[in-house]
A and B are shown apart, each in its own frame.
Chain A
C-alpha cells in the first residue's frame, strides 16, 4: 500500500509433524516468504511418467519389475555365459527385446497422450492478480502458484483448490458443479469465508492480508479443515464449504475470487486420481499356480538332461566327436542343467501374460460395445473400469445387492402420509401415478419430463468458458438449434443427480387433508378448536417438509440458475389472517413473539424483476433473498431490509473487469440493477398440469429466447406481463434439485398442498404457505444427514411465530425413539402418546406396502437454550481437529425432546426386468443377497416384488436383542431348515446348498442389530451354516460398514466369488470389498461408479453381463490359457525328446530363428483370436438357460485336472510328433536341421489343428489367421532356406526346406504325425460329447437347431430342471401386498421373436 510496489507473498511453512500447513499472506517486507513461495508445488501438472531422456532407463526399470521379464532377462544373461550358452546371443535376446519393446511402445504412446493432455491443461488461461500491475492478468494454469488470488467468472473451470474469498453474489455464496470430479451434476453451494469484510463490495486484493492455515494436502474430497487469521488476530474456521476444488466449474455466480491453497498435484482432484484398479482374478490366481507347475516340469526336465549328460559322458572313452577340454562329467551335467533351461525356456508361457492382457482389453472392448447393455436414458453403455477381471464375471457365486437405486428406480413418489395420528391415504395419488405410468409407456419412458429438462438445460449454459475436456466442452454450448432438440427428443437424457422431473413428482392432494387445510386459507370460518390443534400440526408438518431439506430450487428455463424470489407481492392480508388464526388457536407456542412482530417478507408490491436482463449471455443471475449476511446470526434483526436494495446492485457489478473495454454486462448492470430493486422474480408462466401440449409450449418459449438477447428480453417482458396477470404463485414451475430423491419427493408433496419452497439462500428460505405470499424463513442451521444419526435437521426461525424451531426428518425408528424421550416431560404428553402409537401403526402398514418411511418431528427451542447450543456448535464448527465428531455431538445435543408431527410413505418403483434378472441369476446358481438400510417390512416386500422371495418360500426372520438370543435363534433356525430339508427329501441329491431349484427355498431376513451379533467371531460359523442353507438372505437396516463386513465374511470364509452391486455412497465399501464391484450410474451421484470395477446403468444389465459376457470371458480365457500351456509343453517337449538322441547335450534340431519365432510369431495370433472371439454358446441360449453359468462357477473350464490333461495330451502329441519322424528317418543320412524340418512342420499343423478342434466357433477371421500362420511359417522357412547362405551359424538352414518340401516322404511323415497326434483328442471329445455331453455342449447343440424347435427344446430343458420341484403352494402372507407390476410370465422369451425373424 504505502510501498511503491506492493507484493503479496504467501508462504506455506509446512509442518508435517503437526499435519498442518500454514499459509501466510502478508506484504513483502518479509523476504523469507519469497523463498517459501518457491518451495511449494506450482499448479503445473505432469501426469506423464517419462521424459525423452528418462524414458529408456525408467521404462526398462519398470518393466523389469515384472517377474516374467526378469525371467527373460535371466535367460538372456545365462545365454551369454559361454559354458552354458545354447543359442547365438542375438537370437536369445530377441524374445526379451520384442516383449519389452511392445510394452515400451504402448507405454510411450500412453505417455504421449498424457503429455498432450497435460500440456493442454497447463496452458489453459485464468485471471490471476498480478501484484506488480495491480490488476488481474491472464496467466497459464501452470503458472498459478499457491497464494495467488484467482478471479473466475461463471462457467469457468477452477484451476486449483482455492479458498473462496469473494463472490459476486450478495450472500457470498457461489455454486460449483463437480461433474468433472465425481460426475455429479447437481450444483453444490460454496460459501465465502465468514467475517470477511469485503462482502457486498468490490473485493480489493490489495487489502487482503489474512493468514491461512490448513491441513496438509489429502485426497478427501469432502473434508477441508483450517482457519483464517485476520490481521486483528481473530480466527475464522475454514471447512469444505469454503473450498473450490480444481476442475470443478463455477456456475450461477458471476465472478468469484479465491486464494489458491493447494496447487497442481496437491489438489484434491489430483490426489484422487489413482488410476485404474488392479485386481487379480481367480483365474489368474489359478494360472499362477500352474505356471509354478510348469516351472517344476521345466526343472525336472532340465534335471533329467543334466543327469543324463553326466552319465553319458561318464560312459564314453575318448570319443573323437567330443571336444577336448570339456569339464568332468559331473560339472558338465551341472552346466547342462543351465543350458537346458535356456533351451526349454519356452515351457514357461511368458508370452501368456502379454496375451492375456491383450485378450482382456479386447473382451472389454466387446463388453463396452454391447448394444444390449446400452441405456438410452443415460446415453451410456457399460463402463469397464477394471481392466483385468473380466473373467471373474463368469465365476460369480454370490451377488450382494443394494436395494434402493439398484433394484428400484430410486425415483421417489410421495404416496401417503400420516399427520398427528391421522392417516391420509391419498388414493387419488396412487391412481394418478398409475395413470402416469401408463401414459409414459413403461418405466423407461419418463421421457416427457426428461426432455423438458434437458432442453432447458441447453439454454442455461450459454456462457462459453475455457475447458479442457470433452465433458465441459459439451456443457458450454452457445446455442441449441432445432436439430439438437429433435435429437434430444429421440434420446432423452437427464442430468444426473437432479430429481426434478415434475410429472412424476406430481402429487394429487388427499381431499380430506385439503379440506382441513382449507380452514387455514379461509380463516373467516374458523374451525373447531381440536381441529385447530390438528391444523397446527398439519401446518408444521408441511412446513417441515418444505424447509427441512437441502433442495436447491431452479426454474425450468434457467435451471442452472437458482431461483430466488424474495418477492412478497401479495399484500399480507392472508398472512395476518393466519397469524390471527394461530393466535386464536391459543396454543402457547404459537403466540407471536414481540421480536418478530414486524412481518418478515417484503411489504408492498415490488415491481417484477428485470433480473434476468442483468446478465446477458446467461451469466449468473443468482439472487437470493437480499438480506445482509449477518441476519442469520443475529436473530433479533428483522430479516427484511428494504434499504439494502442498492447494495446487491453494487455487488453484482463485476468490478474487476479484466478487459480494458468493459463488456456489455459491465455497462448494463448498474443501470438495470437500480431498476430491478431488491427483488427479482423469475416466476415462469406454466400450466399446473404438465400435459404434453403444455410442455411443448414451455419448451417453445424456452427455445425461443435462447441465444438472441433481444428475443430474450422480449420474452421476459411477456413473462412479466403474464405474471402481472396471474398475480399468483400457484402456477410456478420450479425444479427441485435435491441430493436425495426422497427430499425432492417430499418438497413436491408439500408443494401440492401449497407449501411451496420458492428459493433458498444460505441464510434463509423463501416459502409460500397456502393463502399467503412468499414468506422468508430465516435459516439458522442445517444439520446435514449423517448415517450414524440417520437424521437431518434444520433450525429455522418460524416465519409466523418467530420461535427458533428445529425441524427434523429421519428414519422412523430413530425419530420415534427421540420423540418417545420427550413423552415424559412434554407439555402435551397425553396428546402425543396415542398419536405416536397411531403413527407407529401407520408406519408398519406403510412398510408392509413396501413404502419407504420417514418421520417428521419438530422441537421448539427457547432462546436461551438456543444461544447455549449455538455457542458450542460454533466451537465445533471452527475446530480443526475432530470437527466431524464434534458436529455429530452437537447435532445430537439438540435433536432430542422431539415432538412427532407425522410420517410419510414414499414409493420407490422397481426397475424394469428386476424379477427376471434375479430369477435368472438364481437359476444360474448365484445366491442373491439384498443388503439394505430399509425397514424389514419394506425389504421383505421388495424382495417379494422382485421375486427374490417366492410364494413357496419359507421366511426365516432373525431379530434379536442380545448375543445369546441370537446364538440360540441361529441354532434353532438351522435346525428348522435341516428338518425341513430332510423331510422333504425329494430333491436331496440335486438340492443342497448350491441348487437354485430346491423345493424349499428358505429366505433369511436379518436386521442390522442381529447382524451385528451374527458377524461376531463366535457366531460367524452358525450364521454361515444357516445362510448356506438359505436360498437368499435379506439384511435390512444394515449400515455401510455391515454391508462390507458381510461381503468380506462370505468371501473369505466360504472362499467364494462375490459380486457387490450398488448405486450410492453407502455401497462403496461393499463394492470395494467384493471380488467384483459393480456400480449403477443412477440417481445418487457417481461415488459408487467411481469405486466400482464395472458400471452399468440398470440392474437388468447384470443378467447379460454375468450370464453372457461373464461366461464368455471366462471360458475364452480359460481355454486360451490351457491352450497356451498345451502349446508350449507340446513344442518344448520335442526338443526334450531329442536330448535322448544327442547325448543330452542341449542340441536342438531346429533352426534357432524358427525356434524363437515359433511361439512369438507362427502360433501367437490364433490363440489370441481364440481368446477374443470364441463363443461356445450363443448369447440367446445363455440367457434363456442360465444353468449353463454354473460351468464357470465350478471353474469347469479350468480345473487342475483339465490342466494336467492338457499337459498329458501335450506330452503324447510331442511324443508322436517326435518319434514318427524319428522312425521314418532313423539310420538315414538325414542331417540335424533337416530332421527338424518335418517335426516343426508337423508340430505347427498339430498345434493349429488342435485349436480348430478346441474352438467352438470358427469365423472367417479364424480361418484367415490360421491359414495365415501356416503360410507365414512355410514362407519364412522357404525364404530363409534360400537366402541364408552363411548366416545363422551353426544352424544354417540353406537348402533344407526347399529340398525337403520337394520330397513326398516329408508330406507322408507330416500327415501321419498330425493325424496320429490329434486322434485321441478328437476321439475323446467326440465320445464325451456323445455319451455324456456337458451343459455347454448341449446348449451348443441347441444353437444349431431350427428356431422353432430351438425354443421348444429350451423350454423343455427349463421344465426338466423344475420337474423335481415339489410344489407346495404356500399362501401369501395375508397382509403382504406387492407394489410391483403383476408378475411377468416366466416362459415368454423375448428373444424368441428376434430369432424367428
Chain B
C-alpha cells in the first residue's frame, strides 16, 4: 500500500548506480547523517526488571497501600446504613398483599407500612435510597429507549420523538417522555415516620430536591418552552407514557422547578443504573441543628406500593445511609487495598531474598547454560 510501482523502483534501484560519476558542481553524498536519531542512539532509559530493581517499588506500594486501605476501611465502617426490603415476598410481610395484586394502572393505590428500628443514631445528612434488584436497567435496548433531545426541551422531538423510543414512541399522540426508561419510572411513594416511645409519630421531612446531578437538572433536562409556568400548555399535543398514571407536567405540581422533565425523581430514574442491583437516591433527610438526624428508635416506612417487581424476581428496598468522602458504605475497597498492600510487601520480602541469592550471580557470571 505504501509502495508505488514505478517510482519506487527508480528510486530504489537506479540512480545510486548512475549518480556516482559526478553531478553538476555539487555532488550530494548519500551518506546518511550521523545523528543520534538516525543511528538509533537516542539517549534512553533502559528499564530491566530484575528482583533488585523492582523490590523497592513493591515496598513502596505496600507502604502506601496499607495506610490507604486502613483509611478506607475505617471510613467505610463509620458509615451508617440501614436497609429494609419491602417487596413483600414472604407472606408475613405487610406488603405481601400489595405485591400480589399489582397493576400499572391500578386506581386504588395499595398502601402498606413496615415498622423498623434504628439501633444507632444517624448523624449528618441521611440519604434515603430505593434499591431494586434483578432489574436490568442496563439492558441494551432499554438503555437506548429514550430521546435526549426531547428531554432537553426540543420542540420538534417533543412532538416527534426519536425512533429509538419504539414501541413507547406514540400512543395515539406522541408520548412525552417517550421510551421504555421513562415508561418504567419507579412510582412507589415512600414516607418515613418516627415513632416516639409514647406512641405518637411524626413524619420526617424528606427533601426531594438536590438528589439529581446538577448538570442533569440544569443542562441536560429542560422543559419545553423554557421557564414556562404553564407546563400543561407546553406539553400540549403529547400524551403520558403508557404506564404512568398522570402526565409528566403533574409529577410535582407543588414545585414548578421540580415538575415536568426537570422533576428530580424522573431525572434520577433516567440515569440508568450500571448493574442489575442498584439503588437510586430518593430523598435527603437534612440534618438538624442539635440532635441526630435520625435518632435511634422506632420508625415506620409507609409505602404506596405501585411498582411491580415480582414478575422478574426483583426486589425493592429502602435504604438509609450516611455518606463520607468516599461515598456510601463499601468495605471492599479498604480490604482490597490492605490485601494488595500486604501482598506487595510480602512479595517485596520474597524478592529481597531472591535478589540476595540470585541477583549477585546474574550480575557477575554470564554463564550461558
Contact = CB atoms under 8 A, between A and B. Distances in A.
Contact of A1357 (B4, B43, B139, B366): B366
A473 B10 CA distance: 14
Interface string A1333-1358: 10101101111100000000100110
A379 B216 contact: no
Interface residues of B, number: 125
A276 B8 contact: yes
Interface string A941-969: 00000000000000000000000000000
Contacts of A1319: 340, 343-344, 347
Contact of B3 (A276, A383, A1331): A276
Contact of A357 (B1, B268, B368): B1
Interface stretch (B189-197, B286-294, B296-304, B326-334): B326-334
Contacts of B362: 1329-1330, 1333, 1338, 1341
A383 B13 contact: yes
A994 to B, nearest CB: 14
Interface in A287-344: 316-326, 339
Nearest to A365: B38
Given A454-B20, A1289-B148, A1338-B362, A114 B4 contact: yes
Interface stretch (A224-232, A627-635, A1141-1149): A1141-1149
Residue with the highest number of chain B CB atoms closer than 10 Å, among A477, A1233, A1290: A1290
A795 interface: no
Given A371-B31, A454-B20, A454-B22, A1326 B138 contact: no
A379 B50 contact: no
B13 A1326 contact: no
A460 to B, nearest CB: 9
B16 A316 contact: no
Contact of B48 (A184, A374, A1341): A1341
A1147 B141 CA distance: 8
Contacts of B275: 1141, 1222, 1225-1227, 1230, 1235
B23 A474 contact: yes
A1361 B368 contact: yes
A345 B144 CA distance: 20
A366 interface: yes
B212 to A, nearest CB: 11
A575 to B, nearest CB: 39
B32 A370 contact: yes
B246 interface: no
A248 to B, nearest CB: 11
B40 interface: yes
Given A381-B30, A1286-B152, A1326 B49 contact: yes
Interface string B1-35: 11111111110111111111111111101111110
Contacts of A1338: 362, 366, 368
B340 A1316 contact: yes
B149 interface: yes
A478 B147 CA distance: 77
Given A323-B167, A1326-B50, A339 B129 contact: no
Nearest to A1142: B138
Contacts of B141: 322-323, 326, 1145
B278 interface: yes
Given A370-B39, A1145-B136, A1289 B340 contact: no
B208 interface: no
Contacts of A496: 17, 20
B277 A113 contact: no
Given A1292-B148, A1357-B368, 20 more contacts: A185-B18, A321-B137, A322-B141, A379-B31, A454-B20, A471-B19, A484-B25, A488-B22, A1141-B276, A1145-B140, A1220-B336, A1222-B275, A1227-B279, A1228-B279, A1230-B273, A1236-B274, A1258-B46, A1260-B42, A1290-B164, A1323-B54
A1149 B135 CA distance: 16
Contacts of A454: 20-22
Contact of B340 (A318, A1232, A1315): A1315
Contacts of B164: 1289-1290
A383 B14 CA distance: 11
Contacts of A1236: 274
B202 interface: no
Nearest to A1338: B366
Contact of A1356 (B2, B129, B333, B366): B366
Given A471-B19, A1308-B326, A1316-B340, A117 B219 contact: no
Contact of A1308 (B72, B308, B343): B72
A1309 B340 CA distance: 12
B162 interface: yes
Contacts of B5: 47, 273-276
B16 A380 contact: yes
Contacts of A369: 32-33, 38-39
A1342 B365 CA distance: 11
A165 B139 CA distance: 84
Nearest to A476: B24
Nearest to A102: B1
B344 A273 contact: no
B359 to A, nearest CB: 6
A323 B48 contact: no
A646 B31 CA distance: 52
Residue with the highest number of chain A CB atoms closer than 10 Å, among B27, B53, B359: B27
B230 to A, nearest CB: 24
Interface stretch (A28-36, A1021-1029, A1297-1305): A1297-1305
Contacts of B32: 368-371, 374, 381
B96 interface: no
Residue with the highest number of chain B CB atoms closer than 10 Å, among A117, A316, A475, A491: A475
A1323 B49 CA distance: 9
B7 to A, nearest CB: 6
Contacts of A1234: 274
A1252 B278 contact: no
Interface string A499-520: 0000000000000000000000
A491 B148 contact: no
Contacts of B14: 179-180, 183, 469, 471
A1304 B327 CA distance: 9
A324 B167 contact: yes
29 contacts: A185-B17, A275-B4, A276-B3, A316-B312, A366-B38, A374-B30, A469-B15, A475-B22, A483-B26, A484-B26, A484-B27, A1141-B138, A1223-B333, A1229-B279, A1231-B274, A1235-B274, A1257-B42, A1259-B43, A1261-B42, A1285-B219, A1289-B149, A1289-B162, A1289-B164, A1319-B343, A1326-B351, A1327-B354, A1331-B358, A1341-B362, A1344-B46
Interface in A453-472: 454, 457-458, 461, 469-472
A73 interface: no
A480 B24 CA distance: 7
Contact of A471 (B18, B61, B65, B355): B18
A320 B277 contact: no
Nearest to B242: A324
Contacts of B142: 321-323
B249 interface: no
Contacts of B57: 1322
Interface string B166-203: 01100000000000100010000000000000000000
A1156 interface: no
Residue with the highest number of chain B CB atoms closer than 10 Å, among A480, A1229, A1252, A1323: A1229
Contact of B25 (A179, A483, A1299, A1329): A483
Contact of B220 (A113, A1226, A1232, A1285): A1285
Interface stretch (A103-111, A433-441, A756-764, A860-868): A103-111
A274 B4 CA distance: 10
B312 A317 contact: yes
Contacts of A1252: 47
Interface in A1211-1242: 1220, 1222-1236
A1330 B354 contact: yes
